[in-house]
Amino acid sequence: MRTKLVAGNWKMNLTAAQGAALVESFAKQVAVRYDVDVVVCPSFLSIPKVRDTVRHQGILIGAQDVFWKDEGAFTGQVSAKQLAEQSVAFCIVGHSETRGRFGKLETPESTVPFFAETDETVNLKIERLLFHGITPILCVGETLAEREAGTTDQIIEGQLRAALAGRDASELYGLVIAYEPVWAIGTGQTCAADEAERICRFIRSVVEALADNEVAIHVRILYGGSVKADNAKELFSKPNIDGGLVGGASLDAAGFAAIIMSA
């Protein structure tokens, strides 16, 4: 039986003080849910204060990204070694926004090349996170153009194979994969629950092909993309959807608590 997991990706929102206040608020509302793993992913600067705030609340800390070297001349980057020192337990990798694939573009199109994540860098980041005992939350998903072209499964399988290449089956038991249709991120659109279930089931089958059945059974697969309190229960009731990677709704204490309670 896989334990449900709900992770809040705060993106570039909230100061450290605001983040601490937010977790204090919703922690009180979800304290009774020991059967759900709850993760919050603040910005790097907010991690220490938020970590200290939730230390005895049963809430885990995640990071939003990582670099694939432990140290070196990489200005502005943060390593898995540094994250581990801050008691970070999870880390998002391959999010569509770091790949330059936006559901809703809020920056000039000319700046999109700044977001240059590739399947190769995702693979390198996963290797380094695993080395330091941090669980990757690997994001995969298709754009609207790819869905309309009928290549959703092909795109997702390609992302999975590239991200997990070179990893032994024994390394993947605790892996978390988040299916995030790019066209649903920040747009208010949500993938229909039955289709989200189909794709999450397909992701599990790809993991089985890459590793084995036992690993596929243990891997937790989340749905992300405009998850809200009013659609979480239907999504989370599906057998292959093990929780959610929640964006904007995780910034509202009552709404995020309701999503957690739906898991």
C-alpha 231/C-alpha 165 separation (Å) is: 34
The b/e string for 26-49 (b: 16+ C-beta within 10 A; e otherwise) is bbeebeebeebbbbbbbbeebbeb
Q: Say if residue 93 is exposed, middle or buried (CB neighbours under 10 Å; 0-12, 13-18, 19+).
A: buried
Residue 95 bears catalytic tag = yes
Which of 97, 142, 146, 180 does the annotation list as catalytic? 180
Residue 127 bears catalytic tag = no
Query: Backbone dihedral region of 132: left (phi > 0), alpha (psi from -120 to 50 degrees) or beta?
Result: alpha
Neighbours of 14 (CB within 10 A): 18
Residue 183 is classified by DSSP as G
Four-CA torsion 193, 196, 201, 202, nearest 10 degrees? 150
The b/e string for 139-175 (b: 16+ C-beta within 10 A; e otherwise) is bbbbbeebbeeeebeebbbebbeebbeebeeebbeeb
Which of 95, 142, 146, 197 does the annotation list as catalytic? 95
Enumerate the active-site residues: 95, 180
